Amino acid sequence: MEGIAQIGIFAVLLALGWFVGRANERRHLHELAEHEARLRDIVVVAGRHTPDQARIQSGVLVVGSVVIAEDYFKRLAAGLRSLLGGRLRAYETLLERGRREAIVRMKDEAHGLGATMIVNVRLETSSLAEDRTGRGPMFSAEFLAYGTALVPHRSQ
């Protein structure tokens, strides 16, 4: 009887963690969408050339970075999926959130400088930790977005 109660408690905690994690991820994606909408007037370009008609006062390096760790449920889902093969959708959402957050933070810095465009934008991702003990997050990654923010002359 005691074993059944422990399994029941575990199942309830597992379900609670899953629902809270999903709610937090949805909230974060919603906040990102709102923040992206507020910064949509800042153009982000991977190329390194500015438009010919642009009158630029200065160019400043801007950086946005974020570190995101997987949660227990993403690890569990990815572990099960790796047994069967195929896309690891749990990690795809994690990577999307990290990339978008890094770009938003870079745009925030550019906005603070009065920039209207960021050119030569680069994105980098690096794995920071892989815990093989099973106690901590198995995967965490840093997402880095950087580029040159172009601040126009005041007359524009």
- Compare 72 and 87 and report the one with higher pLDDT: 87
Q: For 14, phi and psi rounded to 5 degrees?
A: -60, -45
Q: How confident is the model at residue 149 (pLDDT cuts 50, 70, 90)?
A: very high
pTM for this predicted structure: 0.77
Region of residue 135 (phi > 0: left; psi between -120 and 50: alpha; otherwise: beta):
alpha
**pLDDT tens, residue by residue, 98-132:** 999 999 999 999 999 999 999 999 999 887 665 56
Q: What CATH topology corresponds to 2-152?
A: Translation Initiation Factor IF3 (3.30.110)
Q: For 22, phi and psi rounded to 5 degrees?
A: -65, -40
Average pLDDT for 26-47: 91
